[in-house]
Chains A and B, each alone.
Chain A
Amino acid sequence: MSKTSNINRVDGFAKVTGSATYSAEYKTDGVVYACLVGSTIAKGKIKSIDTKKAEWAPGVLAVITHLNVDKPSGYQKAKDKHNFGQPLQIFKDDSILYYDQPIALVIADTFERMQYAASLIKADYFKEEHSTELKKAADKEKKVETDKGNDYHRGEHDGYKNAEVVLETEYTIPTEVHNPMELANIIAKWEGNKPILYTKSQGVEGTRRSVAGVFDVPAEDVEVHAEYVGGAFGMGLHTWPYEIAALIGAKKLNRPVKLVLHREQMFTNVGFRPYTIQKMGLGATKDGKLTGLTHEAVAMTSSYEDFMEGTVNMSRFIYDCANVSTRYRIVPLDTCTPIWMRGPGEATGSFALECAMDEMAYKLDLDPIEFRKRNYAEKDLEQNKPWSSKYLLECYEGGMERIGWKNRKNKPGSVREGEWLVGYGMGTGTFGCYRSPTSVKAKFSADGNLILQCSVNDMGPGTATMMTAIGAEIMGMPVENVIIEMGKSGLPKGPTQGGSATTSSVGSAVHDSCNLLVSKILGLANETPTFKGIPIADLTFANGLISSKNNSKTVSLASLLASNKLEDFAVEKQSKGNEEARKYSIYSFSVHFVKVLVNPNIGKIRLAHVVSCADIGTVISQKTSAGQMFGGAVGGIGMGLMEALEIDHRFGRPINNNFADYHVPVNADIEKQEVFFVNKKDPISNPMGTKGLGETALVGMAPAIANAVFNATGKRVRDLPITLDKIIETAKV
């Protein structure tokens, strides 16, 4: 374990004192307040919109609708196309594509006056028949017209049907909403033709590109600040209409505009995990060898963007199986476009796959882990490549020991603690290790600090802490002397924070730039009289000192810089993956174990113990990684036990669009939680040997709960979330 692996979160002080500044919190002179008024129908056209009362209300500065908007010049270029990743063209015309679609922007001098004025806007509509229910719109099902949308087959198509033991099941997950604690928010302003945004984004460079497209300006002219992001979980991967609306308003008034969505709007306007129906077909021999696996998914998207995710992907490679078929279809509905939510498709897919594996294990009368071990994949059969590293078996063992798997009985309902039925379950998770080109500038300042700069942001996983740990380790210096500058444009370009790729991408760039900085420092030192003639290989740099072998000669970096008349010393380097990595299949793996207690009389489910194990390669920062794993597991608990956006399909609008009715895990729900990392370096992935954690921390938790509930009660719930009514209802059957 390295010296820097157990450091505290470096932005901890700012976060516990309230001095961390999130988007809408920047003190901005002359800022005015805006909000969006949403449509009250799910599909149709605006017949008329009465803004007069709002315009006359005290303090109102502007009311913008499709009737009076100065349309951003990029709308024309994009024509009628809505390219994915580009926001819905807000105020473009009178058409309504989903419930609560913004129809007016109200701007006033104070927050209170703005709120009141917004309540005065009234609209009439030409209503059209809407479609918001996936189960009733199956006839509109279509393939996504990209390579990723293609059907996959290995061996015999739907080969499971010919097996000795066959299982066919269907699983449903409802719409889930990211709901980070920080609302979507922005302060927008213009300097001439240059837009400036303080906004909630997971990718500064991505936001720049999107805004540049809408307003037809060069991306380099778009200034984005997202230095602190109050959680996002995928919601910040898209540039949303509210951001464009604020920019339109700021341009019209030539003043900074602050716009904070209401919590209700977080359910309707900034994406969600899509409602998905999955069919599984599993075939096995009587002694537990998988011979066929078919995984089909049908998911919702919006009417104006084709959204897809990797729901069926895990089924192609996680188990050793000769005959595999996967199919993925989408159905356009009259809603906002979905966006990847933590774990994304893999979390949805693992619910179906890992529940089906559990069901098959019972059919075969095998322990679910023994069944998985009999189908352990020694290599990736989808890509036909060896694993770069795989410590999934260590995760099984570590979890079994910690959860007390030996106390599990294969016969459901056979263990009790007092009035509670006891059940044990597990679910496997995985996620690909990705790495995108990233630039980091590493700078030594004369006062002895290392400054690391990258435009990547930190929505909570601890990116700054990871960068600090890697930088301090390589430079041989205290973490207190490392300063991170991140989360805004103008810095060396970093990736979007998503797909568990940040450490692999940014960490590698920190690694490479710091090593380059050290070698440049030693090269500079080597030219001084003190070290002249000593091979660079015999020089070392640590604690701000350049030393020759045995410390016979030392020179401080400060004096080296001074003698060279340098105020600081900096390098900038772009880092990216290499060809060698393409020869391997690189994945993180996780296994979640849960012990549930179910009250058979009222169906109440308690999670008595949760153990989450992961093979994520090297653990750079123990505390922040553990925090992420705890948090991912909690996200999976929400998915398994409580989260579902309920839609009243008569009106196409949500019923439970608030935190009282849309249940997420709270402190009382988390009784006993443990995490465990194998912590073995991956030899291929990147210089540090990390594999990524954010997604796999959640993937596999929901099926672990469903499987434990079955083990406790004998009730198999295939529709998430597993609420107590379903336990009681199934019990009656």
Chain B
Amino acid sequence: MASKKTNQSKETEENSSSRRDFIKKSGLLTALAFTPPSLVMASENKWDEKIAEYLETVPLSIEVNGKKHNLNIEPRTTLLDLLREQLHLTGTKKGCDHGQCGACTVHVNGTRILSCLTLATMQQNAQVTTIEGLSKGKKLHPMQEAFIKHDGFQCGYCTPGQIMSGIACIKEGHANSREEIREYMSGNICRCGAYHNIVDAITEVKEGGMLS
């Protein structure tokens, strides 16, 4: 029992390992050969990461769904990853990371954009609206209502992007016919193939004049 306990605590130590342990365990000799001693010391004390965290980040003020955030972010963070991984707004979806599928569509200052192709740091003081910002509690946005009524989705993964694009499509004045809707909604892939119903939903919202 006692020895088991020892093993366990050893395991815990190992399990909380980080890159510094690699240096200690496997790379120490290599590290000593190529690295000035002061840096090894810095590494031991996590100084490098503390410094790096400070040096690697940039300040960002951004408003998401009416809420202001003052953040320090890595400059290479995309708006999509900021929303999903740091603000936990996972309604905006990652489908390709290359601007090819439309699942990550959000509104920035009222215009639809692909958040995966947008570095967050370039959106200083921007107003971002995501799918989570459309409804007011249980009260849904007319486009959300129409998607439910016309069953404009199946698995639901492309749906937030479709809805954000659908609203923008009408506001842009690109929803004057089914043909036009189909064209201007073609940046949003739906692999379940709900296109027919998506066009029905957008048409109803457009014709009902539900968007001011």
Contacts of B76 in A (CB 8 A): 112, 116
User: Chain A interface residue count: which class?
Assistant: 35 or more
Question: Given the complex of chains A and B, what is the CA–CA distance between A419 and B27 in angstroms?
Answer: 72
A699 CB–B CB distance under 8 Å: no
Cβ-defined contact, B154 with A112, below 8 A = no
Could you say which of B85, B187, B195 has the most chain A C-beta atoms within 10 Å of its C-beta? B195
Cβ-defined contact, B191 with A667, below 8 A = no
| Chain B residue with Cβ nearest A55 | B22
List CB contacts (< 8 Å) of A17-64 with chain B: 17-22, 25, 27, 52, 55-62
| Chain B residue with Cβ nearest A16 | B144
The verdict on A631 contacting B100 (CB below 8 Å), with A16-B144, A17-B91, A27-B88 known, is: no
One of B16, B135, B156, B199 near A460 (C-beta < 8 A): B156
B210 CB–A CB distance under 8 Å: no
Cβ-defined contact, A182 with B192, below 8 A = no
One of B100, B185, B190 near A658 (C-beta < 8 A): B100
One of A623, A630, A659 near B193 (C-beta < 8 A): A630
Contacts of B174 in A (CB 8 A): none
Cβ-defined contact, B17 with A12, below 8 A = no
Q: Interface 1/0s, chain A 157-200, versus B by CB < 8 A?
A: 00000000000000000000001111100000000000000000
One of A17, A181, A233, A635 near B101 (C-beta < 8 A): A181
Cβ-defined contact, B132 with A181, below 8 A = no
Cβ-defined contact, B56 with A58, below 8 A = yes
Cβ-defined contact, A667 with B90, below 8 A = no
Question: Given the complex of chains A and B, what is the CA–CA distance between A182 and B76 in angstroms?
Answer: 23
Contacts of A11 in B (CB 8 A): 156
Least Cβ distance of B123 to chain A in Å? 16
Q: Interface 1/0s, chain A 57-79, versus B by CB < 8 A?
A: 11111100000000000000000
Chain B contact residue count (CB 8 A cutoff): 73
Question: Given the complex of chains A and B, what is the CA–CA distance between A723 and B81 in angstroms?
Answer: 37
| Chain B residue with Cβ nearest A627 | B151
B15 CB–A CB distance under 8 Å: yes
Question: Given the complex of chains A and B, what is the CA–CA distance between A263 and B159 in angstroms?
Answer: 18
Question: Given the complex of chains A and B, what is the CA–CA distance between A159 and B182 in angstroms?
Answer: 49
Question: Given the complex of chains A and B, what is the CA–CA distance between A255 and B15 in angstroms?
Answer: 8
The verdict on A181 contacting B189 (CB below 8 Å), with A15-B156, A459-B155, A668-B182 known, is: yes
Question: Given the complex of chains A and B, what is the CA–CA distance between A120 and B111 in angstroms?
Answer: 37
The verdict on A263 contacting B97 (CB below 8 Å), with A181-B191, A631-B192, A664-B191 known, is: yes
List CB contacts (< 8 Å) of A597-649 with chain B: 623-624, 626-628, 630-635
Cβ-defined contact, A624 with B49, below 8 A = no
Question: Given the complex of chains A and B, what is the CA–CA distance between A630 and B154 in angstroms?
Answer: 11
A14 CB–B CB distance under 8 Å: yes
A665 CB–B CB distance under 8 Å: yes
Cβ-defined contact, B49 with A182, below 8 A = no
Could you say which of A25, A62, A233 has the most chain B C-beta atoms within 10 Å of its C-beta? A25
Looking at A82-90, A223-231, A516-524, the stretch in contact with chain B turns out to be A223-231
List CB contacts (< 8 Å) of B78-131 with chain A: 81, 84-85, 88-98, 100-101, 103, 130-131
Question: Given the complex of chains A and B, what is the CA–CA distance between A93 and B103 in angstroms?
Answer: 37
Chain B interface mostly helix, strand, loop or mixed? Answer: loop
Cβ-defined contact, B199 with A667, below 8 A = yes
Cβ-defined contact, B148 with A233, below 8 A = no
A260 CB–B CB distance under 8 Å: yes
B134 CB–A CB distance under 8 Å: yes
| Chain A residue with Cβ nearest B91 | A18
Cβ-defined contact, A658 with B98, below 8 A = yes
Q: Interface 1/0s, chain B 180-208, versus A by CB < 8 A?
A: 01110111111111111111000000000
Question: Given the complex of chains A and B, what is the CA–CA distance between A59 and B49 in angstroms?
Answer: 7
Cβ-defined contact, A628 with B100, below 8 A = no
Q: Interface 1/0s, chain A 454-486, versus B by CB < 8 A?
A: 000001111000000000000000000000000
Least Cβ distance of A18 to chain B in Å? 2
Contacts of B199 in A (CB 8 A): 667
Q: Interface 1/0s, chain B 20-59, versus A by CB < 8 A?
A: 0011000100100000000000000000110010001000
Contacts of B22 in A (CB 8 A): 55-56
One of B77, B101, B151, B186 near A626 (C-beta < 8 A): B151
One of A19, A20, A179, A253 near B191 (C-beta < 8 A): A179
Contacts of B183 in A (CB 8 A): 667-668
The verdict on A17 contacting B132 (CB below 8 Å), with A229-B155, A626-B151, A660-B98 known, is: yes
Cβ-defined contact, B159 with A25, below 8 A = no
B71 CB–A CB distance under 8 Å: no
A554 CB–B CB distance under 8 Å: no
Question: Given the complex of chains A and B, what is the CA–CA distance between A488 and B22 in angstroms?
Answer: 37
Q: Which 3 A-B pairs have the closest CB atoms?
A: A18-B91, A634-B193, A230-B157
12 A-B pairs (CB sep. < 8 Å): A12-B153, A13-B140, A17-B134, A56-B22, A111-B85, A230-B155, A262-B97, A459-B155, A624-B151, A659-B98, A665-B193, A669-B195
Further pairs besides A630-B194, A630-B195, A633-B193: 10, Cβ < 8 Å: A18-B89, A25-B84, A180-B155, A181-B155, A230-B157, A253-B16, A254-B11, A627-B192, A630-B197, A667-B182
What is the interface of chain A, defined by CB distance below 8 A to chain B?
A: 8-9, 11-22, 25, 27, 52, 55-62, 110-112, 116, 179-183, 228-231, 233, 252-255, 260, 262-263, 459-462, 623-624, 626-628, 630-635, 658-660, 664-671, 673
